[in-house]
Chain A
Amino acid sequence: MVAALLTVVAQTGLGDIVVRDFAGRDVRLAAPAQRIVALAPHITENVFSAGAGDRLVGAVAYSDYPEQAKAVPRVGNFQSWSLESLVALQPDLVLLWSSGNGIDTLPVFDRLGIPVFVSEPRKLSDVADTIRKIGKLAGTRAVAEAEARRIEHTLATLGDEYRREQPVSVFYQIWNEPLQTVNGEHLISQLMALCGGYNVFADAPSLAPKINIESVLARDPDAIVASGMDTARPEWLDDWRGYPSLIAVRSGALFFIPPDHVQRPTARVLLGARELCRQLATVK
């Protein structure tokens, strides 16, 4: 028993940090990361939430939140970044977004000896989890833990407050032309569940399917929630008034939430959750 423990300690080294990432890999660091590169806007945001924003030496385009993130040097965008500029930053930790950056780049980093943490937040609980893990890797555990607890607490409180006997049906509209929504896999569907609602298109076959007006009429949601391109309520949300038979139109349940508050798996989902809960609470 003792011998087994000793060999484990000998293999990992005493001061080692070991964190399991979202791809199920164990990420090992000898010391807290000092030079971090984040390859997606939501990861950058989570690094700041974990209190490790000052360790960030590289980010990608559209890493625009918080304000300080805009000053972080860029290595490209989330789909194509320059490996050279990334290496030139001499990172001791790279945070990769597997569905956006592609998991196939992992061997390249392995060859270069740069540790990679793969992030793929899909569930609401993954937000706090990611922040906690980044805090552990960057040695900013106290800040990260406090932020993670705040997120979990707020979500739990909202869930208790807005739980309903009869959940309201919600249609989330990403865009009008083409008419696009999300299915049950998306974070937004979990926000709906938290706020006492459910996604009418939860059963759709892809994450962000293209649908048509007729299927919205067929499912007749209690509320329509739309995100536009930025922080302004899209004008096309009022196009639904052309279909007065819709329950959501009759009761005026046409709502807007800024896309960054519901589409990014970061601490800002709390903003989206609060807005959505308040909006759905006015239905019926």
Chain B
Amino acid sequence: MRASGRAGVSTISAAVLPAPRTLRARRVILALAALLPLCLLLSLGSGAVNLGVAESLSALYQAIAGEKSSQAAVIIGQIRLPRALLAALVGGVLAVTGAATQGLFRNPLADPSLIGVTAGASLGASLAIVSAGTFTAGLLGFSVVSLGAFVGGLLTVALVYRLAQSGSGTSVATMLLAGIAVTALAGSVGSLLEYQASNEMLRRISLWRMGGLDGANYQRLLVAALVCTPVLAALPRFAIPLNAMLLGESEARHLGIDVDRVKWSLIVWVAVGVGTCVALAGTIAFVGLVVPHIVRLMIGPDHRPLLPACVLAGACLLLLADTLARTLMAPAELPVGVVTALVGVPFFVSLLRRRHQYGMQ
């Protein structure tokens, strides 16, 4: 009696299992969507200058109305708002590209840097710092260093992609190895370059590598939004092909998915999105690797809710981390990459402890 009852329960739960999952996913997405404005307000309300809640809100109103009369309006409108929006944008892009890369490579250790974009950007930035010298002008609000990073990132991805191509299509495994090789190569060339750098340049290279959002202004935010909004809009549309590819590439092909096209489009979107983020904010570790896992632990591996939830969670995490980076050691700033791990890892580990059986599938 008891045994048959148990069997009955398991049959039923197997049949209904997707329902609570989607319900839960919906709840998590709603909660994150509600959390994001709160994180944004927290970020706007904190900083080296102590503005109260009331003054912050009135300054925000003034800033939106376009007034620049008061000091508070300048601080909120010209310094904190563009920085907070950039943090949210960069966090969202890093997390969602991380989720897409993990899905594409079917590898839980994958993150956007795997296809070489971060290492290439790092090298590009170092090259720019060493060769540009005092030439600090730029294009569209991007400094020479940012442009160097962006171009370096894209060129490296193109190289990795070329290396993985063969007559029979693009091999994900080869791309992974090529990414590791090219990342190592770019790292070595970067280290070689440091021998050519003066003390001053070395300091700038190391600070750039640590990442930071302190260069935020509206011009850069605009460029970032123009590039990243299409990325944020495009990636969630790959949810179904990514779900199919979790089964394996040939299975996905049998399900009617044009696997090589999907791979190519995903790589392009990831490279453009991450390249822009790295160019604007330096290398920010952790967000692209662990945020997708955190979200998967909460709502499961279905890419349909996973990708939008990652955008929201990444944005919240980077906003919080940047707020702490600005305030913990004030007047000095901490590298934001240090704080993302400090904030995210305990949360991630506690989730992990509760679900020992967690895996990609």
A170 to B326, CA, bound (A): 22
A162 to chain B, nearest CB (A): 26
Which residues in B have their C-beta under 8 angstroms from that of A204? 331-332
Asked if A80 and B195 make an inter-chain contact with CB atoms under 8 angstroms apart, the answer reads: yes
Contact between B332 and A229, CB atoms less than 8 A apart: no
Residues of chain B contacted by A243 (CB below 8 angstroms): 74
Please indicate the chain B residues that have their CB under 8 angstroms from the CB of A212 in the complex. Answer: 47-48, 79, 214, 326, 333
| Contact call B47/A177, Cβ cutoff below 8 A | no
Closest to A179 in B: B214
Would A178 and B215 count as touching, CB distance under 8 A? yes
Q: Which residue of B lies closest to A175 (CB)?
A: B204
The reply to whether the CB of B352 lies closer than 8 angstroms to some CB of chain A is: no
Give, as a whole number of angstroms, the nearest-CB distance from B338 to chain A.
12
Per the bound structure, the CA–CA distance linking A62 and B195 in Å amounts to: 11
**A232-B71 in contact given A214-B48, A215-B331 (Cβ < 8 Å):** no
State the CA gap A218–B215 with chains docked (Å): 18
CB distance from A236 to the nearest CB of B (A): 6
Please name the residue on chain A nearest to B194 by beta carbon. A79
Q: In the complex the two chains form, is B134's CB within 8 Å of A217's CB? A: no
Q: In the complex the two chains form, is B333's CB within 8 Å of A210's CB?
A: yes
Any A CB within 8 A of the CB of B136? yes
Number of interface residues of A (CB under 8 A): 37
Residues of B within 8 A of A205 (CB): 329, 332
A76 to chain B, nearest CB (A): 9
In the complex, what residues of A have CB within 8 A of residue B330's CB? 215
Q: Distance in Å from the Cβ of B43 to the closest Cβ of chain A?
A: 12
A62: B residues at CB distance < 8 A: 198-199
How many A-B pairs with Cβ below 8 Å? 90
Contact with A along B197-241 (1 / 0, CB 8 A): 011100110011000101100000000000000000000000000
B200, A259: Cβ atoms under 8 Å? yes
Closest to A213 in B: B79
Contact A208 B215 (CB under 8 A): no
CA distance A265 to B96 in the complex (A): 49
Q: Which chain A positions have C-beta within 8 A of B332?
A: 201, 204-206, 209-211
Tell me the complex Cα distance, A159–B31, Å: 62
| Other-chain contact of A211, B79, B198, B333 (Cβ < 8 Å) | B333
B49 at the interface (CB under 8 A from A): yes
- Determine whether the beta carbon of B195 is less than 8 Å from that of A77: yes
Residue from the list B75, B133, B145, B212 in contact with A229, Cβ < 8 A: B133
Q: Are A217 and B214 in contact (CB under 8 A)?
A: no
CA distance A77 to B201 in the complex (A): 14
| A210 in contact with B214 given A205-B329, A228-B134 (CB within 8 Å) | yes
The residues of A that contact B78 with a CB separation of less than 8 Å are 242
The interface residues of chain A lying within 8 Å CB-to-CB of B215 are 177-178
Write out the residue numbers on chain A whose beta carbons fall within 8 Å of the beta carbon of B203.
180, 208
List of B residues within 8 angstroms of A178 by Cβ: 204, 207-208, 212, 214-215, 333
Contact A180 B48, beta carbon cutoff 8 Å: no
- What are the residues of chain A within 8 A of B171 when measuring CB–CB? none
A12 CB within 8 Å of chain B: no
| A217-B75 CB under 8 A given contacts A178-B207, A180-B207 | yes
Determine if B80 is an interface residue (Cβ-Cβ < 8 Å). Answer: yes
Closest A residue to B211 by beta carbon equals: A178
**Least distance between A15 CB and chain B CB atoms (Å):** 39
User: How many Å lie between the Cα of A259 and that of B199 in the bound state?
Assistant: 12
Residues of B within 8 A of A219 (CB): 331
Contacts of B71 in A (CB 8 A): 217, 245
A268 to B48: give the CA distance in the assembly, Å. Answer: 35
* Binary B-proximity of A227-248 (CB < 8 A = 1, otherwise 0): 0111010111000001101000
Q: Using Cβ atoms and an 8 Å threshold, which residues of chain A touch B136? A: 176, 234-236
**Chain A residues whose C-beta falls within 8 Å of the C-beta of B204 in the assembled complex:** 175, 178
Chain B contacts with A in 313-360, Cβ cutoff 8 A: 326, 329-333, 335
Interfacial chain B residues near A236, Cβ < 8 Å: 136
Complexed CA–CA distance, A113 and B207 (Å): 38
Q: Within B135-189, which residues are at the interface with A (CB < 8 Å)?
A: 136-137, 143, 145
Query: In the complex, which residue of chain A has the Cβ closest to the Cβ of B132?
Result: A229
B134 interface neighbour in A80, A209, A210, A234, Cβ under 8 Å: A234
CB distance from A138 to the nearest CB of B (A): 26
25 chain-A/chain-B pairs, Cβ below 8 angstroms = A176-B136, A177-B145, A177-B214, A177-B215, A178-B204, A178-B207, A178-B208, A178-B333, A180-B203, A201-B332, A208-B203, A209-B329, A210-B212, A212-B79, A212-B326, A214-B48, A214-B80, A214-B326, A215-B49, A217-B71, A217-B74, A218-B331, A219-B331, A235-B136, A236-B136
8 additional contacts (CB under 8 A) given A215-B48, A234-B134: A177-B214, A178-B333, A210-B207, A212-B214, A214-B47, A215-B331, A217-B75, A235-B136
The 9 closest A-B pairs by CB, nearest first: A209-B332, A215-B48, A215-B331, A218-B49, A229-B134, A214-B48, A218-B48, A204-B332, A210-B333
